[in-house]
Amino acid sequence: MNLMASPSSNGQTPTETLNPSATTTADQNPNCPMDSEDPTKSAEPHIQPSNAQSVDDSENNNQGEKRKREVEEEEVVDDAAQAKGTADPSLHPLHKTSLCSYFRRNQGSCSHGSTCRYAHGEGELRPRPDNTWDPTSERAKKAMRVGEVEDGAEKEGQEIMMTDAVADDDGEGDGEGGCLDPSLSKCLVHLPQRWQSDNLKKFLTDEGIQFKSAKKKKGMMVGFVTFETTEQVRIATEELEGKSAGGKNIKVSDVIPRSYDQKIKSAMALPQSIDSALDPEKNELVPMPSDGSGSKSKSARAVVTPLADLPYQEQLDQKKNSVMQILIKLTRNARKACPAGVSIPEWILKSREIGGLACQLEGILESPLKNGYRNKCEFSVGHSLKGKPTVGFMLGNFREGVTAVEEPVDCPNVSRIACKYALIFQEFLQQSELPIWNRFKNTGFWRQLTVREGRLPEKATDVESPEVNISEVMLMVQVSSKGFDHELVTGELRRLALVFSKGAAETDPPLPLTALVLQDHQGISNVAPADAPLRPLCLPNTGSGSEVEVNGDVAEARIHDHISNLRFSISPTAFFQVNSLAAEKLYALAGDWAGLGPDTLLFDVCCGTGTIGLTLAHRVGMVVGIEMNASAVSDAHRNAEINGIKNCRFVCGKAEDVMGSLLKEYINVPQKNDKLLGLSEAGKKAVPIVQEKDTSVDNLQDANRILDLEVENGDSVSRHSENGGEEPKNTVEKGCTTENESSSQVQFKNFVAIVDPPRGGLHPTVIKSLRTHEHLRRLVYISCNPETLMANAIELCTPSSEESKKGNNRAWRKMGNAGLARHRAKSMPMSEPFRPVKAMAVDLFPHSAHCEMVMLLER
Ligand SMILES: C[S@@+](CC[C@H](N)C(=O)[O-])C[C@H]1O[C@@H](n2cnc3c(N)ncnc32)[C@H](O)[C@@H]1O
């Protein structure tokens, strides 16, 4: 059923050209702090003792590389020490913290003698400010060996919390409906991810291992093996432990199995608490894990809100520090990425004055709400460690063999309302005729529950009791309907709607319930594509006992929230910041830093439902929002309308497809129509919200022109009518010309972009467009993933070289974010780079390790 710089020849580090601190001066005077940032000095090669030149070239290169690494490592430590304020001005913190390679190579002689800043032998060696040792030293090697042992011990304790049945129900191998008997089962960890069951079976057979069944899923690093006898288990464990497979050493681990069997459950009428009815100790059919209940394992609270036990101020300090590290990393990488022969930018040179930070970190804004702040929770459906069908949070990563789901109890970021809905659904599932989703086998029906809450406008008192403010709730249930009987499904969905309605009404005080939506998704992970079919379920009036209608209008399935006194309409799959009150602070900060005025054209890149652009629209001439999710764009149009905002335009398309054309259209307007420059009112008139069939708007043609031009340039853009929530048309216009259009196009003096991309950051094409449009002088980057902000900032802020180089395209596979960004920076067309001006951390996610980061870039 389907519901719907090259190494120098003298063997010295090639980084000196990029690392002004490693100059002769600094080397000759070990007490001289590495703060000399004179770019002219930086270009001077470090003069080495003549005896160094006797070493052959390859060794030179190796030594050079090694020293380069040392210098880079030192920079980090040094920067970190300075950032922490622990730098000792009387003695350079890195003095004698690295072994002198010349001393070592030349049997104890170095021309710098006692003035050398590097340690002459292990005896002189000092620990680094971060308490680590020179990685080439004996001390470091010893520490590493101890670390490996400890690490191994820790990994040994790591449990494979696989609570989904792994075998086929035909009982191939492990019997008991696919449940693993812990005494006859083992997990093999660190297997090649590409392996499937057949590869694992072949491997075991080749190794002469006797086994009953072997299961492995592509993408996982874990495989599951069952045996006939405990003797087979013992031999396999001894033989396989530490054996190499695909370059990694296998670990043999215990399994926490699914211990609660669906068959038993469906034979019983379950009371409210399933725990009391099904004592796993008495469950004869399915044995429990050897420790009794998986009690060693983590709680949802520990996984989802790992900082919850820290005082809030400490959480903030921790987040601020990690953003600081990102800023240090940005400087270091931008310095490394600077092409040879190009002056190092001033901001990098000045970074020494502020502990290596790329720019000042102004601090961290705290969340107005600390608890229950999340307005959206995605609860997984799965089996708990005790094998109970559960609605809550997964305890780890599926790839690593964890499928256990635990209830969201004691997760302080979740509202009481969301917890209650999770519990209602859980109790429903425990009696449902339809199976819950099995991640290992990709089978089952019930997958996920999303609870979205809409809040009334904030009042001063609301922070104390935020739940009073939750006025609307939308529930979205994700299922995989393929292959299930239509009638059975319809019956279960009717019952579900009734259970939610009753549960909401019978709770004291009653829970808000605005919409119930079904999302049908067949994919492997629960992350459904934006176009996964949605179907609203009518909610019965529990008082009247009327029949439940299993249909409705999806456009009406929406909730509302408020930010900066504006009302936002949110459809089921549209992005909306999960902490609305903190988001308000975030957007205000971005607006303040963006330098807005009536002559500003603001590009709101990755605009979602239009929140940033709409909250700032009164401060600019015009907003152009870009967003790829069609229903979010439709929401943005609706939000502009319900708030009476007329100077915004929202374009539906991937930013990488449309950004270049939009910038070209708006920024490269010939300056021949000065009367149109910088007029907010003109902006309001010229670009109407209504893009179709509204002849009352003067410049309707202008509004559509961008789309036409984009198409002409080969970009695909979806266009939407603003007709009160109707689904966007997603049509692509073709064949229109742009002749004479720029003469009537509104012109602005100030072009600003606020970008707020998803975790992966901006697409390289978008970065290139932003970077190469020189009239775009200011850019505010908002990111929920500071690592990708840092990577994108490397590309935006590194000077380009005369010859743009094409790198080795294969090399990217092995690169981290920063390495990849440095690699891409090499091919950036000649253009003025941005510079980081200031940054701020904003805590949108109290108790979790995540933090939003905002950075102002200018040129
Ligand atoms: C972090 S959200 C920010 C949304 C919005 N600025 C807000 O604060 O509500 C990122 C948004 O980018 C959209 N998005 C993701 N990839 C995109 C792309 N390639 N082009 C345009 N939008 C994209 C997502 O749909 C999502 O709405």
Q: What is the pLDDT of residues 274-302, one digit of tens each?
A: 222 222 222 222 222 333 344 445 789 99
For residue 606, report the distance from its CA to the centre of ligand 1, in Å.
Answer: 4
Please give the pLDDT value at position 446.
98
626 Cβ closer than 6 Å to some ligand 1 atom: yes
655 Cβ closer than 6 Å to some ligand 1 atom: yes
Q: To the nearest whole percent, how much of the chain has pLDDT over 90?
A: 48
Residue 222 has pLDDT above 60, yes or no: yes
Please give the pLDDT value at position 602.
98
575 Cβ closer than 6 Å to some ligand 1 atom: yes
How crowded is residue 114: how many other Cβ atoms within 10 Å of its Cβ? 8
Q: Which long-range contacts (CB under 8 A, 24 or more apart) does 348-355 make?
A: 348/37, 349/20, 349/37, 349/39, 350/37, 351/79, 352/21, 352/34, 352/35, 352/37, 352/82, 353/35, 355/79, 355/82, 355/83, 355/84, 355/85, 355/87, 355/324, 355/328
Query: How is residue 552 written in tokens?
Result: 């409705």
Closest listed residue to residue 743, CA positions, set 804, 840, 670: 670
Residue 170 has pLDDT above 80, yes or no: no
Q: Write the residue with the smallest CA distance to atom 26 of ligand 1.
A: 608
**Helix 786-797 × helix 817-825 angle, to 10°:** 20
Please give the pLDDT value at position 347.
97
Tell me the domains of the chain and their CATH numbers.
14-139 (no CATH), 176-282 (3.30.70.330), 376-560 (2.40.50.1070), 595-836+854-858 (3.40.50)
Please give the pLDDT value at position 267.
35
Please give the pLDDT value at position 48.
29
Q: Is the CB of residue 748 less than 8 Å from the CB of residue 622?
A: yes
For residue 578, report the distance from its CA to the centre of ligand 1, in Å.
Answer: 14
With a CB cutoff of 8 Å and minimum separation 6, the contacts of 389 are 260, 262, 265, 274, 381, 382, 383, 426, 429, 430, 436
Place of tokens 């209602």: 424
Please say whether the dihedral angle defined by the alpha carbons of residues 742, 743, 744 and 745, taken in this order, is positive or negative: positive
611 Cβ closer than 6 Å to some ligand 1 atom: yes
606 Cβ closer than 6 Å to some ligand 1 atom: yes
How crowded is residue 154: how many other Cβ atoms within 10 Å of its Cβ? 9
- Atom number in ligand 1 closest to CA 609: 9
Query: How is residue 230 written in tokens?
Result: 């405990």
pLDDT confidence band for 723 (50 / 70 / 90): very low
Q: Is 784 a catalytic residue?
A: yes
Query: Residue 343: left if φ>0, alpha if ψ -120 to 50, beta else—which one?
Result: beta
656 Cβ closer than 6 Å to some ligand 1 atom: yes
Q: Mean per-residue pLDDT for 594-599?
A: 96
pLDDT confidence band for 120 (50 / 70 / 90): confident
628 Cβ closer than 6 Å to some ligand 1 atom: yes
Please give the pLDDT value at position 107.
77
- 70-74, 488-492, 613-617, 761-765: range with lowest mean pLDDT: 70-74
Q: What value does the mean pLDDT of the chain take? A: 75
629 Cβ closer than 6 Å to some ligand 1 atom: yes
Q: Write the residue with the smallest CA distance to atom 6 of ligand 1.
A: 607
- ipTM beyond cut 0.90: yes
With a CB cutoff of 8 Å and minimum separation 6, the contacts of 777 are 750, 751, 752, 858, 859
Q: Write the residue with the smallest CA distance to atom 13 of ligand 1.
A: 606
Residue 8 has pLDDT above 70, yes or no: no
pLDDT confidence band for 269 (50 / 70 / 90): very low
pLDDT confidence band for 665 (50 / 70 / 90): confident
654 Cβ closer than 6 Å to some ligand 1 atom: yes
pLDDT tens-digit series, residues 424-435: 999 999 999 999
Q: Write the residue with the smallest CA distance to atom 25 of ligand 1.
A: 629
- 6-15, 363-372, 675-684: range with lowest mean pLDDT: 6-15
pLDDT confidence band for 773 (50 / 70 / 90): very high
With a CB cutoff of 8 Å and minimum separation 6, the contacts of 456 are 469, 471, 562
Q: How many Cα atoms are found within 13 Å in the side-chain-facing hemisphere of 185?
A: 30
For residue 763, report the distance from its CA to the centre of ligand 1, in Å.
Answer: 12
- Atom number in ligand 1 closest to CA 759: 1
Q: Mean per-residue pLDDT for 169-198?
A: 71
- 100-104, 155-159, 418-422, 773-777: range with lowest mean pLDDT: 155-159
- Atom number in ligand 1 closest to CA 629: 25
For residue 785, report the distance from its CA to the centre of ligand 1, in Å.
Answer: 13
627 is in an annotated binding site: yes
For residue 755, report the distance from its CA to the centre of ligand 1, in Å.
Answer: 9
Please say whether the dihedral angle defined by the alpha carbons of residues 40, 41, 47 and 48, taken in this order, is positive or negative: negative
Q: Of 12-16, 226-230, 687-691, which has the strongest mean pLDDT?
A: 226-230
Please give the pLDDT value at position 23.
28
Q: Is the CB of residue 795 less than 8 Å from the CB of residue 763?
A: no
Q: Which long-range contacts (CB under 8 A, 24 or more apart) does 235-239 make?
A: 235/209, 235/210, 236/186, 236/204, 236/209, 236/210, 236/211, 237/186, 239/207, 239/208, 239/209
Query: Residue 371: left if φ>0, alpha if ψ -120 to 50, beta else—which one?
Result: beta
Please give the pLDDT value at position 745.
53
CA–CA separation, 668 and 738 (whole Å): 13
Q: Which of 527, 563, 581, 628 to mutate to test the pocket of ligand 1 (most atoms within 8 A of CB)?
A: 628
With a CB cutoff of 8 Å and minimum separation 6, the contacts of 38 are 20
Residue 701 has pLDDT above 80, yes or no: no
Please give the pLDDT value at position 3.
56
- When computed from its CA atoms, the radius of gyration of the chain, rounded to whole angstroms, is 31
Please give the pLDDT value at position 389.
93
739 is in an annotated binding site: no
Q: Which of 187, 784, 797, 851 is catalytic?
A: 784
547 is in an annotated binding site: no
